[in-house]
Every structure is written in structure tokens, then in C-alpha cells.
Amino acid sequence: MPAQLRDEPARGRFELDTEAGVAFARYRLAPGVLEVFHTEVPVRLRGRSVGAALVRAVLEEARRRGLKVDPQCSFVRAFIARNPQYADLVAGAAPREPASPRARKHTP
């Protein structure tokens, strides 16, 4: 786990200490799946990529633990959409395969 990310399982959240307080991601752990349902960043730091750093660290921790992620939080969903390297972590997502010229062949 990155040094600044702290898992607080009793509180059901990952925490990231910042200069303006604690940013956190609330979660539930289901069998093999980390359900991330809320993220929060101190008001003073919003728009300064703290939320992105938090979500990136949470996703990397899920990968390290071999968990899939159920991104119930809209911020987490949007982050994954902008960072497709994490799409394989989404629970129920089909594995990505490299595009091939044959895959684009049109069949009437």
C-alpha cells in the first residue's frame, strides 16, 4: 500500500492525509470485490488532483490484493473511464484484448 494511503477497515474507508485534513474513500468489502461508494476531499483541495491521487492509490491497492472493484461512486467511475488501465479491475468487466485488424472486419 502506498505510504500515504491508510486502510481503516473498522471505519470502512481508505484515508489519505493531506495538508488540509483527511481525504477518504468509503468502501464495503464483498467476496473478491471492493465496493467503493463515496469519496471525499477537503474543500480547500478540491480541483487539485487529490481525489485522483486517492482513487489511483485505492485502485492500486485493490489490484495488489487481487480484488475487483465495484465503482458505485460517480467520481471513481469517471476516473476509471479516463484511465482505462484500471478498466480490468471493474467487477463484471470483460477482459480487454488488443485490437486486431481482423476484429474490425464487417460481416453483413
pTM assigned to the model:
0.81
DSSP classification of residue 68: E
Structure confidence by residue, pLDDT tens digits, 58-98: 999 999 999 999 999 999 999 999 999 999 999 986 555 44
First to last CA, the chain: 50
Structure confidence by residue, pLDDT tens digits, 10-34: 999 999 998 888 999 999 999 999 9
Cell reading at 39: 469519496
CATH number of 5-92: 3.40.630.30
